[in-house]
Amino acid sequence: MLAVFINVATVLIGSTIGLIFGSRIKENYTQGIMMAIALCTFVIGVQSAIQTSNILIVMVCLVIGTVIGVWLKLDDRMNGASDRIKERLKGTKLGKGPFAEAFMTTTMLFCVGTMTVIGSIEAGLNHHYDILIAKSIMDLMSSLIFAAALGAGVLLSAVSVLVIQGGIALLASVAAPILTTEVVTEMSAVGGTLFIGMAINLMGISHKHIKIGDMLPAIFLPILYFPLAAWIGGLF
């Protein structure tokens, strides 16, 4: 768990520095940085999405995951919670910026991907921290840039890092057999597709906001897809 706490600390430190210096950056620069971040998010999404070995897996997981998310009203609930937090911070420097967008984007960035899953399993099972330490350095710089451009919502993503990475590390002995290379690859591919959606939202190029929150369950469905596909295949 030591490496998880280090990762949480780097996100908090990077976010804090970004918030302090972000308020000193003029609006035209902030808008430019926002577009640059959106483009980087798009590239990260494409890199992850094209790793899939079968686009059908991504499609099935996204469709079923979205149905679950819409039924649970995840996006509305997450935005509602973010709005309440932002309202309490109203009038302070922390209350500025697109809170929910910042939280969602950085949570996905810090918590979805091969380094997160494999690094957490290695930390939990073998006490090897190299992967998470490397990820922590990357997250330090990312959180600084995102916080400067998007605001305090980035700080909240540290909680996501603690819960998700910490949970995988604590349950590593149980999770390791389930989170095979195939599963992790497809989880990253689904997450990458959602990254592309977030980039579109950040750039504002679509007149209709994509409800990424409703699609979040899709990330975890590759865990169920492979055993179900094998079982159905066995029937025929």
Cβ 19 vs Cβ 93: under 8 Å: yes
Least confident of 90-94, 101-105, 205-209: 90-94
Per-residue pLDDT at 236: 75
Mean pLDDT of 47-51: 90
Query: Structural domain of residue 113, as residue ranges?
Result: 2-225
Q: What percent of the chain has pLDDT over 70?
A: 95
What are the DSSP calls for 110-127, one per residue?
Answer: HHSSHHHHHHHHHHHHH-
Mean pLDDT of 75-85: 80
Q: What is the DSSP letter of 204?
A: T
Taking the C-alpha atoms of residue 80 and residue 73, their distance in angstroms, rounded to an integer, is: 11
**Per-residue pLDDT for 83 more than 80?**
no
Cβ 163 vs Cβ 2: under 8 Å: no
Mean pLDDT of 148-162: 89
Q: How many domains does the chain have?
A: 1
Q: Establish if 200 belongs to a structural domain.
A: yes
Q: Establish if 236 belongs to a structural domain.
A: no
Q: Which residues contact 140 (CB under 8 A, 6 or more apart)?
A: 10, 11, 13, 14
Here the tokens at position 208 are 């209709």
State pTM to two decimals.
0.80
**pLDDT-based confidence at residue 162 (cuts at 50, 70, 90):** very high
**Per-residue pLDDT for 90 more than 80?**
no
Q: Establish if 235 belongs to a structural domain.
A: no
**Per-residue pLDDT for 174 more than 90?**
no
Q: How far, CA to CA in Å, does 140 sit from each of 145, 152, 167, 211, 219?
A: 9, 15, 21, 27, 24
**pLDDT-based confidence at residue 93 (cuts at 50, 70, 90):** low
Region label for 206, one of left (φ > 0), alpha (ψ between -120 and 50) or beta (otherwise): beta
Q: Establish if 232 belongs to a structural domain.
A: no
Q: What percent of the chain has pLDDT over 90?
A: 32
What are the DSSP calls for 11-68, one per residue?
Answer: HHHHHHHHHHHHTTS-HHHHHHHHHHHHHHHHHHHHHHHTT-S-HHHHHHHHHHHHHH
Least confident of 22-36, 51-65, 122-136, 207-221: 22-36
Here the tokens at position 147 are 């916080």
Mean pLDDT of 13-29: 82
**Per-residue pLDDT for 60 more than 90?**
yes
Q: Establish if 103 belongs to a structural domain.
A: yes
Q: Which residue has the tokens 């998470």?
A: 132
Cβ 164 vs Cβ 172: under 8 Å: no
**Per-residue pLDDT for 149 more than 90?**
no
**pLDDT-based confidence at residue 89 (cuts at 50, 70, 90):** low
